[in-house]
Amino acid sequence: MAMVAERIFNFSPGPAVLPLAVLEQARDEMVSLPGVGASVLEISHRSPPFDRILEETLQGLRDLLAIGPDHDLIFLQGGASLQFSMVPMNLLRGRDAAADYILTGTWGSTAVKEARREGKVHVAWDGAATKHDRLPTADEIRLSPSPAYVHVTSNETIQGVQWKHDPDVGDAPLVCDCSSDFLSRPIDVGRHGLIYACAQKNAGIAGVTAVIVRKDLLSRSRDDLPSMLDYRTFVQAGSRPNTPPVFAIYILGLVSRWIRDTMGGLAGMHRHNAAKARLLYDVLDASGGFYAGHARPDCRSDMNVTFRLPDERHETAFVKGAAAHGLVDLKGHRSVGGIRASIYNAMPVSGVEALRDYMLDFQRSPRL
């Protein structure tokens, strides 16, 4: 189909590129779901066909992530941003202990502001002094005594800084904003108290947020919470206390199946993503400083590759020239500047190779 031939390589930080096979299946089923005769956009969220879609999507994610019986998985709306509030509302409100936040970039720093509205907060480490270009070492993290939980951001989307292993937080529940690397690699769910992620980067489209919560933590939620902000409401109603984001859940199901059947599960997905990232970091490292990475090498993200060029004139020309080659949305976030190449799950190797070749060419002969 002509539509396919016209697709560009889309390096958007999110909403982001989707697997072509998923888009094609969604297109083919858009007007009539097989065996149903109506679109997923038209059927009741309480109909048997949607029961099946929801059940398969929940089970598919449970299988991919190896979520054990101690954890619930629920789907919510409000984006990852609502979790900045819901986490402290449910896990911190009314407690004496502080919630600890490890700040490795913009998103964690945004999350901590919302937690302050709910209770005591302790910043266990903040990388702001070096513009969030790295992670803390184990002995730099200063936890409070018995924190209510410890919050981290597994991948800072704007700075391009990604944890390579979970920090050691002792007995405290580890809470992780996994929004920009969810389903890009395996997660040790058992080590976490709570994991949340919006879907519109690696896992699907905007509108649905996955929350994985350890069952014993649900007893912390207080009865004075508005019911739609209480995790228990979603657990008890199987993610359907009201109309859920049906299409976003359907797409999440298709993406999980694509990861399982085509990409070799999360371990295969991880290998694929790491190999893509290496292609670009090798260019940075061999560029003699022409491409200067924002993140320190041991903290580099496999998802968002961030770097600067010698000056803004070069950066503007780089972005413009890239677009002319069908490589789009490479401008870095305004707070960091420079270039950001987001190379999530569905970015094919061919797209990263095209960007690599363009980078090599641009360094040889920048067209300013």
Torsional sign, CA 37, 38, 39, 45:
negative
CB atoms within 10 A of CB 362: 19
Residue 295 beta carbon to ligand PMP: minimum distance, rounded to whole angstroms:
14
CB atoms within 10 A of CB 223: 7
Question: For ligand PMP, which is the closer residue by CB, 309 or 343?
Answer: 343
Residue 289 beta carbon to ligand PMP: minimum distance, rounded to whole angstroms:
28
Q: Assess contact for 53 and 189: CB atoms under 8 A.
A: no
Question: For ligand PMP, which is the closer residue by CB, 33 or 332?
Answer: 332
Dump the DSSP string for 227-296.
Answer: GGG-HHHHHHTTT-SS---HHHHHHHHHHHHHHHHTS-HHHHHHHHHHHHHHHHHHHHHTTTTSSEESS-
Q: Which amino acid is at 183?
A: L
Residue 111 beta carbon to ligand PMP: minimum distance, rounded to whole angstroms:
7
List the catalytic residues. Answer: 107, 177, 201
Question: For ligand PMP, which is the closer residue by CB, 93 or 333?
Answer: 333
**Contacting residues toward ligand PMP, per CB under 6 A:** 14, 79-81, 107, 153, 157, 177, 179-180, 198
Q: Which two tokens stand for residue 70?
A: 């101690």
Question: For ligand PMP, which is the closer residue by CB, 157 or 239?
Answer: 157
Question: To which residue do tokens 């405290």 refer?
Answer: 172
Residue in the shown chain whose Cβ atom is closest to ligand PMP = 79
Exposed (0-12), middle (13-18) or buried (19+): which is 43, by Cβ within 10 Å? middle
Dump the DSSP string for 17-44.
Answer: ---HHHHHHHHHHHS--TTT-S-TTTS-
Question: Given the DSSP bridges, would you call strands 121-126 and 99-103 parallel, antiparallel or unpaired?
Answer: parallel
Residue 194 beta carbon to ligand PMP: minimum distance, rounded to whole angstroms:
14
- Residue closest to 244 by CA, chosen among 86, 16, 58, 31: 58
Q: Assess contact for 259 and 266: CB atoms under 8 A.
A: yes
- Residue closest to 244 by CA, chosen among 25, 40, 26: 40
Residue 103 beta carbon to ligand PMP: minimum distance, rounded to whole angstroms:
12
Residue 33 beta carbon to ligand PMP: minimum distance, rounded to whole angstroms:
27
